[in-house]
């Protein structure tokens, strides 16, 4: 016997959980469905930042020298699987085309109203979910060893401030040491992004949102999105015994594959990333996330006294075996600059950031497929925009 809901939300990451909560608040009967435990995939292992300042997108580099270095994995912030290049070319080409200054500016204008609401919306949910104590209003620091690179980025931030109202502050090496005594690396200075809110435990925050949904009467169920099919003006998942008038695909990096099976195309790519957890030396003297720009890694203090390091982007097939070479390259330098003790995990965790070429999420109904909606492709800002 089928159980009926107004909406089936497929994917129980931060985006799916929040979608389910807001639909529930609008009076819909909602089932949140995933093949895995909620908040156990990409939403579990990120840097935990709500990036109120993140208007300007991570554009594809257009400098040929930098492209050469990325192609041959000479820069630690990125890693390319050459075996995946044939399947990656269509996405990378679209990403490159969308990264002109004019198109990047269009993306920034579109992102601005989304990121401007991110902190307020998260805090509203956190108040209801009882997780306000997990949120830190300390912003984050972008750390630079090279004064020239710091000066160049400050110029970029000033442009973003004038165009989009981004708030930033330059910090000297002495000011960095005063803010974060645990940062002992030889940094020339930093850029402080004070409007961002951080959490050392995004997984716990996300799971609290799921519990809030359940406390409101929502159902969290196990099911495989591959079983979804249209049926008589609605949608069914036969073996799970579920029927919905509407369906939201909030499957993160798996959304593109389900879309193809249902007969429409999403130009989605993925950027994989890794994290490792460490014991904190000297009582975890970090008070906020810091990002080492030379190595593309975010270093985040976790309660009650550990540190999580998350890497930059890896371009690979979604199902490829993990290759945490970026972490291996960066770890010696990170140990010299930050209070990292012994590893607390047997192997690095890997997740995948779902991206569209213009780095804007796809949110809305699918033309020609009544009752089918998409909310996916939030790139590096999944926790922020979720």
Contact 11, 203 (CB under 8 A): no
**ω before 304 within 30° of 0 (cis)?**
yes
CA 143 from chain center: how many Å?
20
Tokens of 106: 């269009």
pLDDT at position 24 over 80: yes
pLDDT band for 283, please (50, 70, 90 cuts).
Answer: low
Q: What are 220-272's pLDDT values in tens digits?
A: 999 999 999 999 889 999 888 999 999 999 999 999 999 999 999 999 999 99
Compute the average pLDDT of residues 309-313. 95
pTM over 0.75: yes
Q: What is the largest CA-CA distance in the chain?
A: 67
Instruction: Work out whether strand 362-365 and strand 297-302 pair parallel, antiparallel, or are unpaired.
Output: unpaired
Which residues are registered as beta bridge partners of 8?
A: 31, 247
Find all residues with CB under 8 Å of 195, minimum gap 6, and list them. Answer: 52, 53, 119, 139, 167
Alpha helices in the chain (DSSP H): 14-25, 64-71, 85-97, 101-116, 118-129, 147-164, 173-179, 202-215, 255-262, 325-337, 382-385
Q: Please report where in the chains the tokens 């975890």 appear, as a residue.
A: 284
Tokens of 184: 């002992």
CA distance 191 to 2: 55
CA 95 from chain center: how many Å?
18
pLDDT at position 70 over 90: no
Residues 94-131: b if buried by 16+ CB within 10 A, e if exposed: bbeebbeeebbeebbeebbebbeebbebbbebbebbeb
- Mean pLDDT, all residues of the chain: 95
Q: What is the pLDDT of residue 303?
A: 84
Q: What is the pLDDT of residue 233?
A: 86
The count of other CB atoms within 10 Å of the CB of residue 89 is: 10
DSSP annotation string for 49-113: EE-TT--S--PPP--HHHHHHHHTT-STTEEE-GGGHHHHHHHHHHHHHTTSHHHHHHHHHHHHH
Contact 298, 289 (CB under 8 A): yes
DSSP code of 346?
S
CA distance 325 to 344: 18
CA distance 45 to 341: 19
Q: What are 133-170's pLDDT values in tens digits?
A: 999 999 999 999 999 999 999 999 999 999 999 999 99
Tokens of 295: 């190595």
The values of phi and psi at residue 181, to 5°, are: -60, -20
CA distance 276 to 344: 8
Q: Which of 310, 260, 302, 271 is nearest to 284 (CA)?
A: 302
Residues 201-239: b if buried by 16+ CB within 10 A, e if exposed: bbbbbbbbbbbbbeeeebbbbebebeebeeeeebbbbee
Tokens of 70: 């990325």
Q: What are 187-217's pLDDT values in tens digits?
A: 999 999 999 999 989 999 999 999 999 999 9
Instruction: Work out whether strand 313-315 and strand 78-80 pair parallel, antiparallel, or are unpaired.
Output: parallel
pLDDT band for 68, please (50, 70, 90 cuts).
Answer: confident
Q: What is the pLDDT of residue 284?
A: 59
Q: What is the pLDDT of residue 72?
A: 85
Percent composition of the chain: helix, strand, coil (DSSP 3-state, to 5): 35, 25, 35
Tokens of 24: 């529930």
At residue 293's C-alpha, the angle toward residues 62 and 289, to 5°, is 130
């Amino acid at each position: 016997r089928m159980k009926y809901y107004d909406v089936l939300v497929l994917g129980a990451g931060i985006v799916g959980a929040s979608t389910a909560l807001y639909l529930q608040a609008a009076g819909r009967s909602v089932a949140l469905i995933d093949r895995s435990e909620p908040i156990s995939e990409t939403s579990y292992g990120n840097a935990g930042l709500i990036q109120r300042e993140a208007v300007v997108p991570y554009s594809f580099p257009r400098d040929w020298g930098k492209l050469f270095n990325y192609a041959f994995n000479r820069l630690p912030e990125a890693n390319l699987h050459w075996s995946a290049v044939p399947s990656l070319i269509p996405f990378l080409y679209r990403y490159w085309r969308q990264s002109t200054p004019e198109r990047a500016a269009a993306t920034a204008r579109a992102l601005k109203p989304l990121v401007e609401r991110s902190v307020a919306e998260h805090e509203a949910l956190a108040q209801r979910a009882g997780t306000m104590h997990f949120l830190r209003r300390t912003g984050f620091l972008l750390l630079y060893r090279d004064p020239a690179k710091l000066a160049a980025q400050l110029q970029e931030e000033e442009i973003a401030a004038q165009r989009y109202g981004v708030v930033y502050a330059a910090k000297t090496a002495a000011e960095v040491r005063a803010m974060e005594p645990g940062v002992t690396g030889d940094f020339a200075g930093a850029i402080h992004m004070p409007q961002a809110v951080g959490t050392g435990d995004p997984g716990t925050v996300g799971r609290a949102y799921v519990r809030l949904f359940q406390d409101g009467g929502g159902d969290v169920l196990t099911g495989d999105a591959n079983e979804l099919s249209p049926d008589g003006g609605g949608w069914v998942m036969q073996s799970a015994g579920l029927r919905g008038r509407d369906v939201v695909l909030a499957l993160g990096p798996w959304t593109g594959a389900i879309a193809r099976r249902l007969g429409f195309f999403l130009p989605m790519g993925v950027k994989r990333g890794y994290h490792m957890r460490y014991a904190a030396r000297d009582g975890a003297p970090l008070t906020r996330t810091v990002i080492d720009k030379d190595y593309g890694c975010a270093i985040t203090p976790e309660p009650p006294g550990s540190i999580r390091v998350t890497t930059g982007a890896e371009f690979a097939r979604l199902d490829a075996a993990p290759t945490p070479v970026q972490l291996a390259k960066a770890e010696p330098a990170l140990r010299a600059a930050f209070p990292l003790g012994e590893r607390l995990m047997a192997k690095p965790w890997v997740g995948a950031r779902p991206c569209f070429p213009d780095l804007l999420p796809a949110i809305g109904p699918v033309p020609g497929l009544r009752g089918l909606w998409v909310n996916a492709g939030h790139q590096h800002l999944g926790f922020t925009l979720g």
